[in-house]
Structure 1
Amino acid sequence: MLYGQGSSATRNKSARGSAGQAAVLHVLRKRLHAAPRAWDFLSIALAIVTADVADWRSESPDGWTRELDLEIAVTDPEFWNGQARAIEEALKFLSTDVWHLRFVAGGFRPATPQNPIYPLEDCVVLLSGGLDSLIGAIDLATDGKKPFAVSNVVRGDSENQLAFAQSIGGGLRHLPLNHNATPPWSKEDSQRARSIIFIAFGVLAGTTLKSYHDGSRVPFYVCENGFIAINPPLTGTRLGSLSTRTAHPEFLNRIRDIIAAANLRIDLINPYENSTKGEMMLACKNQALLRSLAPRSVSCGRYRVYNYNHCGRCIPCQVRRSAFLSWDASLDTTYYRYNDLGRRDREHAHFDDVRSLAMALLEVESAGLDAWLGAALSYPRMGDPCPIRDLVARGLAELSALHDYFGVE
């Protein structure tokens, strides 16, 4: 049930999930006036995220790939049914599942608020609480832009999101939203489709700006380093367990086409698609502010598992630590649960993610980068693979320096 409360039940009983009520109420309380198709896109994203958390991968034939069949209420079903195939293909890439979407009438569209507020900001930026989005917001503000910061609020990140918004550019207008996707049973952990809700929140926010209502296009910045955006599989066995692909150029290009077809004047931009995380830190346009805030940012893929601490050994943690090493290792005051990656036990050097990266670095050294990459850069909508290949090489060099620093073998 979108924009409402669901009911609890066991897996085998009739029940209803829910999503989106808090988000829509927050937008309406702010008296923001968004475009009708932006509301439709949010409804679609909420339905997708709710299905993603409700359907257990363990029950699929191969233990991973699911087939999801959704009927979604929107205000313009004729248009969205024309886009169903494009959305399905984008989702297939995002979550590696098979999606079937049908759109019907009856979707949610709030009335225009009384005395609506049209923010004067000139762009939108996702502010996750992570290091990359922090750098992106700092750079935009330092360049003289006025970004409207939008966050997907999750426990453990909300304080950082608020603190960063207050610290950048004299204080950014901040829209913290939560999809609250809740199935009537326990959640599927992987949640690979959740990226769509980040985009939907940002698109909705972009259409509330005064410049949008005046007919202008609105830049929407999704700031993520190019290496983690590509997230090349380290070994052949890691294909199914890749992290989310929020900023992967294949996914962003597909979403750009859908946004354009909807006549939503939102330009989706990742200004760091050709930068490593270390390069982002080195090139940040307000180094003093970055030094004060960077250690507080969150990168860990298992942050909540370790009581809101960085594990230090997952792939996002290793990318973070290699970036700090490239920038200034002395400034990395982050607490890492597993700090010394060179310790030869299953908690450190023999941990799966550390070992997989070590194996990848060894394969690149012995067989060459192209042999290791294989078909990872062969997706049809990625664009020119040459700068991406060079980017991956530089990202691996940063990670190799981290392993050398700790003596990982």
Structure 2
Amino acid sequence: MDFPFGEDGALTVVLYGQPGAVEAGRSARASAGEAAKSQFLRGRYEAAPRAWDFLSIALSVITADLAEWRAESADNWTREFELTIAVADPAFWRTQAAALEAALKFLSTDRWRLTFIGGGLQPAPPRNAVRPAEDCVVLLSGGLDSLIGAIDLASAGRKPLAVSNIVRGDGDNQEAFATAIGGGLRHLALNHNASPPWVKEPSQRARSLIFIAFGVLTATALKAYHDGGEVPFYVCENGFIAVNPPLTGARLGSLSTRTAHPEFLNRIREILAAADLRVEIINPYEHKTKGEMLRDCGDQALLKARAMDSVSCGRYRVFNYNHCGRCVPCQVRRAAFLAWGQHDTTFYKYEQLGKSDAEHAKFDDVRSVAMAVAEVSGDGLEAWLGPALAYPKIGDRQPLRELVDRGLNELAAFHAHYGVK
């Protein structure tokens, strides 16, 4: 595809505004963030200055991620980015450029180079600022794990403010879950609206950063933060999907998102600490399988009433907002319901995975899970894992090894149940 970049080979991105009409002789422009800024300020929330800078960085990254096609790269996957980002405190962010680049490389497996200049958005403090009294923030995606996380927080007596990145097909679930939990949660639904001036790259591996940025921005608006405290920000995902171990030697970890991978979250935690942003990112399910999350949920009645409405499928929109039933996230979901012992009434387009055809048992994701189960059974967990946990900031690996083993056991039981061979 012939991309209409500017004469200098760059794409101009308008943050917190619209790209405007393209005049003769001027290249097309991208835009991102106007809707999120407007929604946040409409609520009269006041966030920390560096939280706005962090959001500007995330918006720039996700727009670049959407604008550059992987198919145009030398190996059809790894891209090289050079971003110049306007922030309010460029001197500080220059000290974090290498750390951000490393975190982004881990997140998307691309190569990133970030340069920071002045002039970034810093909204004036609103009159009569609203400073929510909630004691934490929880990411509410519309998925099953985030639903369980919000239920557990409310069941434990916490008062979370739910923040969502609006995605078509998930918005209704996000609002319904927020309304049903804890007598009704305050819910801030934001949309990054990152729009390149051409067809978007579908992989979107860097989008995790925008989820984190929305949560950090919201956390710094709470009364507890303005009073000088540290605000917990819960990013709830089962440990097996968070670690995302390559199922076979042919599957790279970046084939799935790494939103809650311990390595990525630890790198972001260090950057937030350096920025003096008092937001503690927590994944309370780092060492739990999805099945264990379901079984241990603090409000079983509410979970049973709402679990089937949640979305787990990696191809949900491809199948007209239905679960495919055969991708890795769908298999993990179905295995979790089996481990929970509850009948799963979710509609799956490909229900009977034991059927030996290209759409069922021979589908790539199904075969990959079956191969992983067989390899662990034959050669042991350590041989299969290899270097999958060998990251410098991942922390104690033994609980993660045990977690991955239990997650594979859930998948093995699911395959046995459906007669996958």
TM class by shorter-chain length? over 0.9
1:335 aligns with 2:355: no
Instruction: Say whether residues 1:233 and 2:239 are aligned partners.
Output: no
- Cα deviation for residue 41 of structure 1 reads 0.3
> Which consecutive residues of structure 2, in runs of 5 or more, have no partner in the other structure?
1-13
Would you say 1:372 and 2:388 are equivalent positions? no
Is 1:347 paired with 2:386? no
Is 1:191 matched with 2:204? yes
Residues 23 and 178, structure 1, Cα contact 8 Å, conserved in 2: yes
Does the 8 Å CA contact 2:107/2:254 hold for their aligned counterparts?
no
Matched, 1:296 2:316: no
Whole-angstrom CA distance in 2 between matches of 1:13 and 1:167:
49
Match of 2:335 in 1: 322
Identity percentage over the alignment? 69
Note if 1:102 corresponds to 2:115. Answer: yes
Question: Is 1:265 paired with 2:281?
Answer: no
Measured in 1, the distance between the counterparts of 2:280 and 2:342 equals 36
**Structure 2 residue identity aligned to 1:375:** P
**Which amino acid counterpart does residue 361 of structure 1 have in structure 2?**
V
With over 3 angstroms needed to count, the CA separation of the structure-2 counterparts of 1:346 and 1:14, relative to structure 1, is same
Contact 1:119 1:208 in 2 (8 A): yes
2:50 corresponds to: 37
CA distance in 1, matches of 2:387, 2:255: 15
Post-superposition Cα deviations, 1:255-296, rounded to whole Å, max 9, x if no partner, equal 000000000010000000000000000000000000000000
* C-alpha contact (below 8 Å) 1:8/1:16 kept by paired residues: no
After superposing on structure 2, the runs of 4+ consecutive aligned residues of structure 1 that deviate more than 6 Å are none
Could you tell me whether the CA contact under 8 Å between 2:352 and 2:360 is conserved in 1? Answer: yes
Please tell me whether the aligned partners of residues 7 and 184 of structure 1 are also in contact (alpha carbons under 8 angstroms): no
Match of 1:235, SS?
Answer: coil
Distance in structure 2 (CA, Å) of the matches to 1:147 and 1:242: 32
Distance in 2 of aligned mates of 1:8 and 1:137 = 42
What residue in structure 2 maps to residue 74 of structure 1? 87
Instruction: Name the structure 2 match of 1:219.
Output: 232
1:151 alignment counterpart: 164
Q: Retained in 2: the 8 A contact 1:7–1:17?
A: no
* In 2: Cα distance, 1:16 partner to 1:407 partner: 52
Match in the other structure for 2:5: none
Question: Which residues of 2 match residues 360-399 of structure 1 at below 5 A?
Answer: 360-399=372-411
Q: 1:370 to 1:8 in 2, by over 3 A?
A: farther
Task: Return the alpha-carbon distance in structure 1 between the equivalents of residues 310 and 21 of structure 2.
Answer: 35
- Structure 1 residue 311 corresponds to structure 2 residue 324: yes
8 Å contact kept, 2:325–2:331:
yes
CA distance in 2 between counterparts of 1:310 and 1:7 reads: 38
Q: Is the 8 A contact 1:7 1:15 kept in 2?
A: no
Q: Match of 2:295?
A: 282
Secondary structure at the residue paired with 1:58?
Answer: helix
1:53-82 Cα offsets, whole Å, 9 max, x none, are 000000110000000000000000000000
State the secondary structure of the residue aligned to 1:133: helix
Contact kept, 8 Å, 1:342 with 1:408, in 2: the verdict is: yes
Query: Pick from 333, 358, 363: which aligns with 2:370?
Result: 358
How many Å separate the matches in 2 of 1:229 and 1:146?
A: 25
Contact 1:39–1:109 at 8 Å: present in 2 too?
yes
AA paired with 2:420? Answer: V
CA contact (8 A) 2:205 2:254 kept: no
Aligned to 2:266: 253
Equivalent-residue separation in structure 2 for 1:87 and 1:109 (angstroms): 21
Counterpart of 1:403, as a letter, is: H
Please list the CA deviations of residues 345-396 of structure 1 after superposition, one character each: whole Å capped at 9, or x if unmatched: 0000000000111111111111111111010010111011111000000000
* Cα pair distance change 1:206/1:328, threshold 3 Å: same
**Other-structure match for 2:100:** 87
Cα-Cα RMSD: 1.1
Q: SS of the residue aligned with 2:29?
A: coil
Q: Supply the AA of the counterpart residue of 1:343.
A: K
State the SS of the aligned residue for 2:147. Answer: helix
**Matching residue of 1:405:** 417
Aligned to 1:62: 75
CA distance in 2, matches of 1:78, 1:261: 13
SS at match of 1:193: helix
What is the rounded CA distance, in whole Å, between the counterparts of 1:269 and 1:110 in structure 2? 28
Could you list the per-position Cα deviations for residues 61-106 of structure 1 after superposition, in whole angstroms to 9, with x for gaps in the alignment?
A: 0000000000000000000000000000000000000000000000
Q: Output the CA distance in 1 between the equivalents of 2:420 and 2:101.
A: 41
Q: Distance in 2 between matches of 1:114 and 1:361?
A: 58
Report the residue type matching 1:182 in the other structure: S
Q: d(CA) in 2 for partners of 1:238 and 1:329?
A: 31
Gaps of 5+ in 1: none
Partner of 2:11: none
Equivalent in the alignment of 2:6: none
Q: Per the alignment, do residues 119 and 240 of structure 1 end up closer, same or farther by CA in structure 2, a change over 3 Å counting? A: closer
User: Closer, same or farther in 2 for the Cα pair 1:193/1:357, shift >3 Å?
Assistant: same
In structure 2, C-alpha distance between the alignment counterparts of 1:180 and 1:272, rounded to whole Å: 30
Deviation at 1:13, TM superposition (A): 7.7
Pairwise CA distance, 1:329: 3.7
C-alpha offsets along residues 4-52 of structure 1, whole Å, 9 cap, x if unaligned? 112588xx98111000000000001000000000000000000000000
